[in-house]
Amino acid sequence: MTATPDLPRPRERRQRVQAAETSMAVLKALGELGGRAGLSVIAARIEESPAKVHRYLVSLMEGGLVGQDAATQQYFLGLETLLLGLAAMRQADPIRLAEASLIRLREALEVTCFVAVMGNKGPTIVRFEEPGLPVTVNVRVGSVLSMLWSATGQVLLATLDETAVRALAEAELEAATAEQRAMLHADDPIGALQRSVQAAGCAVVRDTNLRGISAVSAPIYNYAGRPCAVLTALGATGGFDPSADGRVGLAVRQEAQAISHLLGNT
């Protein structure tokens, strides 16, 4: 007959859960405090006594999750915590993490929406969602969008400080028609566009990239604060409000911020 292993009693289980919760609170506090802080500061952060926090810090140090500076006596996030963070960052895929946001936008607003990233030829759609009654547009996964005339491109132009991005925009400006140029600032077409998008936190277009189609886009940032993708919603101009503070604009910005947060951007 196989002996049944002794299971922890309910009180012991509660104590173990409480200990794990306190340990996590200490680690989170260190992270929120910039990764390094003194005992009293950490204790105040989680509203526990310094003596209690010290006991948990000692245990975390034994596990390599926390270290202590001999000179200042401050505690800091240890190597094992760094390795955990690196593993989490490797899994932080903006395309995968954006799927829930795309579905929420599609269902709540009944709009076509997609995620795009900067490719070597320009903004490229990598994930696409359509409502039950989709708007007819000639863009799909793999489509490359304009830097100047699409909301997606305007966001990347405003947030990516890269020579290649600027060069693509300047090439489009050089080839623009008089009608297209009239949509931009006369003296500083690219600079004024960048500043406008930066001030609004998103880009909006009406009938510029596709006739009869309006769109609003917002940037997605990674843990380092670098724009890594763009979230866009579009619809027929007649029934779609692409204003920055409209229903669609607010929803797109909120979802982009939510994805950024999942990527570690705080």
Task: Band the pLDDT of 253: cuts 50, 70, 90.
Answer: very high
- Write the pLDDT tens digit of every residue in 67-118: 999 999 999 988 888 877 767 656 657 888 889 999 999 999 888 899 999 9
| Size (the chain), residues | 266
Most confident of 7-21, 35-49, 131-145, 233-247: 35-49
Neighbour tally for 40: CB within 10 Å:
10
Q: Assess whether pLDDT exceeds 90 at residue 216.
A: yes
Categorize the per-residue pLDDT at 8 as very low, low, confident or very high, splitting at 50, 70 and 90: low
What are the phi and psi torsion angles at 225 (to 5°)?
A: 80, 15
When the pLDDT of each residue in the chain is averaged and rounded to a whole number, the result is 86
Residues whose CB falls within 8 Å of the CB of residue 144, separated by 6 or more in sequence, listed in order = 119, 121, 122, 123, 124
**Residue 222 in contact with residue 194, Cβ under 8 Å?**
no
Tokens 């920055």 — which residue?
244
- Which residues have C-beta within 8 Å of that of residue 183, sequence separation ≥ 6? 208
Beta strand 66-68 pairing with 227-236 = unpaired
Tokens of 36: 């390094």
- Higher confidence at residue 38 or residue 91? 38
Type and span of the H or E element at 117: strand 112-118
Question: Are residues 105 and 217 in contact, defined by beta-carbon separation less than 8 angstroms?
Answer: no
- pLDDT per residue as tens digits for the range 151-175: 999 999 999 988 889 999 999 998 8
- Tell me the range of 2-11, 97-106, 201-210 where mean pLDDT is highest: 97-106
Instruction: Output the pLDDT for position 229.
Output: 93
**pTM > 0.85:** no
Among 94, 208, 210, CA closest to 143: 210
Average pLDDT over every residue of 5-13: 63
Q: What does the pLDDT average to over 166-190?
A: 87
Please give the helix or strand (H or E) that residue 192 lies within, else none.
helix 189-200
Q: Which two tokens stand for residue 147?
A: 């830097």
